[in-house]
A and B are shown apart, each in its own frame.
Chain A
Amino acid sequence: MKKLKKVVSLLVVTSMAVASLAACGTKASSGGDKFFIGGIGPVTGGAAIYGQSVKNAAELAVQEINDAGGINGVKIEFAFEDDEADGEKAVNAYNTLKDKGMKILMGTVTSGACASVIDKTKSDNMFQLTPSASSKDVLALGNVFQVCFSDPNQGIASADYIGSKGVASKVAVIYDSSDIYSSGIYEKFKAEAAGQNFEIVAAEAFTADSKTDFSVQLQKAKDAGAELVFLPIYYNEAALILTQAAALDYKPIFFGCDGLDGILTVENFDTTLAEGVMLLTPFAADATDEKTAAFVKAYKEKYSDTPNQFAADAYDAIYIIKAAIEKSGAKPSMSVSELGDALRGAMTQITVDGLTGAGMTWSETGEVNKAPRAVVIKDGSYVSAE
C-alpha cells in the first residue's frame, strides 16, 4: 500500500509541476499582424519614477502612432514589464516579454539592468534600443542603440562647457560612487578637466546607502573654495544637496547632467533654492517649440503629471523605432532575428528630429549624435543658458 501511495503522490507532484510550467507555455506568435514592441524598466522600487515615466511616454507614443494609422498601416502592440532596476529581474522580464511575442525591445531604463539583458538580445539577435541606459557597458556587444547620451559624453560635454564658457575656475564634484551613471560621468569629467582651464579642488563620493546627509561633502567643497559644484547625480539627492548647502550658507553655482532634470518636481523642495542651477539636458518640459509643447500637453492630459527627460527619451525611442521600420521596410511577419538585422542596418542611415534633439543620427557602435543643450533654472523654469 505504501508503495502505491508513494507512486501516486509522485505522479500527482509531477503532473502538477508539468501543468504549472506548461500553463504559461509558449504563446509566441510566429507571424502576427502587429509590431510587438516590449519595454522593460523599474515600475516598483527606488527607481520606479524613471520606469513609470518611460512606460507612460512610450504608451502615449504608441497610441499616437496607432491612432494615426500605424507604421505603413501596421499597428504597434506594446507591453511593459517591471525589472525593479535589477539585472536578474530584467532577464526575467525579458523572458516574459519574449513569451508574449515581443520582437523589438525598447529598454531597459537603467544601465545596470540593461547590461544584463544585452547578451540575451545578442544571442536572440533582437533589436534593442534603450531610451535612458547611458553607461558605456551597454554598448559592449555592439547590438544596442541609445537615445540618450552615453555617460562619458556627458562628462566630456560638461567639462568642455564649464571650461570653454569660463563658468568657474575652482570646481568640486559630489558623486555617487555606487552608481554606474554617476561614477561613469565623473571619471570622464575628471579626465577631460585635466585639459581645461579649471581645477577640481574636491571630489567627494557618497553611496546608495548614505544618500541623505551631504553636509560633510558640502563642507569640504566650501573649505576648498569651490565656485562651482558639479553634480553628476539624480535629482532626488541633488534636491537634498541644495537644501543642505543653503543651510550651510554656501552658494556656489550648481551644475548637473540630465539626471538633474526633474528637480523642480521634488515634493517639499523649496524650488527657489534651485535658482541658477545649470544642467546639460536634452529636454526641458518648458521649451516652447511646437513638438515639446504638444507632447507635454498630451502627457499632462493623460497622466496629469509633467513629463521629465526619461519620458521624452522613451517617446523619442518609439518614434525612432518607427523611423527605422519605415526605412528598412520591415514587416511584422519577419522573425525576431530578421527584424534585428533589418532595423540595425536602418539605424545608421536614419535621421530623427525628436524631443531630445534635432537631427539625431547613430553610429555603428550605437551611440547617438546630437547637440547637448545647457539650461539654467530661472524663476522656477528651465531657460536656455546661452
Chain B
Amino acid sequence: MRAYGQLTIAQLRLFGRNRQVLFFTLFFPVFFMVMFGYLFSNSGGNTIYGGLIDLDQTTESRAFIAALDEQKEILKLDTSEGQEAAMEKLRQGDNQMVIIIPKGYGEKLQAATSQTGTAPPGTVDVFYDETQAQKAGTALNAVSQVVDGISKSIAKYSPVVTITPKGIESLNLKYIDFLVPGIVAMMIMSNNLNGVAAQIASWRERGVLRRMQSTPLKSSTFIAAQITARLILNGAQALIVLLIGSFVFGTQMNGSWALLLAFVIVGTLAFMAIGFIIAGLAKTPESAGPIAGFISFPLMFLGGVFFPIQSMPSFLQPIIKALPIAHLSTALRQIMNVGAGLSQLWSEGLMLCAWMIVAFIVASFTFKWE
C-alpha cells in the first residue's frame, strides 16, 4: 500500500516536472480547439454569396427578387454589380452563384398567365460553381423553392398536402459544441496510447523496470499506481479543456458530470491498455512512438474527433463503428450536447469496456519487464 502511494506520487511528480511534455499534451488539444473552433464558426456554414442581375426590369422580375429576399438567410445576393463583374467573381471563387433574369421574363410570365397551359414557361438562368457541389446544391434548392412558389401562385395551385414544421427543444448547437468532446476524446487517446507506450518502452530500455523487478515490488502494484496517476492527470487535463471550452467558447454541458467522468475513466483505461500492448510489441523506445502514432493518427481522423462519423464513406462505417475512439467521442458528445444518460449510451459504454478488457488481457500476454 505504501509502495502504491509512493509510486503514484512519483509518477505525478514526473508528469508535473516534465514541463515540456505537460505543456504540449495540454497545448496540443487547446490549439486544435482554438484553431478549428474559429475556422469553422466564422466561415458561415451554409451561407452562399452570389450576384443577381435583373435584365428584365419588370414588375414580374421585381416580384421574383422580392421572393428571393425571403431566402436571405442562405443567399447573400449582390444586385449592384454588372453581369460581367459578377461572372468574373464566380470564376474566381468569390461568388458561388450568379442569377440572371433575362429580358422578356415578364412578358413570358404574362403570356403564361393569360393562355393557360400552352405558352413556353419563363426562365431564370442560374450559374454555379461545379467544384463546390454542396453549396451549389443548397443554392439551387433555395432558388427552386422561390421559383416553385411563384409558379404555384400564378397557376393558382392550392396544395393538397402541406408540412407544418415543429422544432422540438432547439439546442442551438454550434460546431464548437461538436468539437470540444471530440478534443477531450482525442486527448485521452493520444496521452495514454502514446504516453504509456513511450514511457514504458523507455523505462524498459533504461533498466528502470529491471531494477524494480529486483525488489519485492509486485507488478500489479506498479501497474495500479501507473493507472491511478494517469487517471488523475487525464481527469485534470479533460477538466481544463472543458473549462476553456466553456468559458472561452461557451460550449454547452447538458448532461451529467458523473457520467462524463465515468466515460473519461473507461476511455483512459482502454487506451492505457492499448498503450501497454504497443510498449510490449515495440522492440526499442524509438519505435514505440511511431507505432503509437501510426495507430492514433488515423483514429483521430476516423473516430469522430473533428468530423461527424456519419460523413465518413459508407464502406468505412463498419470499421469506424468498431473503433474505441468513435465510441468515446460519441458518448462524450451525447452527454455534453444533448444530455444523454446511460440508458442511451449503454452500447458505447459496453463497447469501450469490451475494448478495455480485451486490451488488458492482450497486454498481460505481450507485456515484458525487460
Q: Do A and B come from one complex?
A: no
- Measured CB to CB, the residues of B under 8 A from A are none
- Measured CB to CB, the residues of A under 8 A from B are none
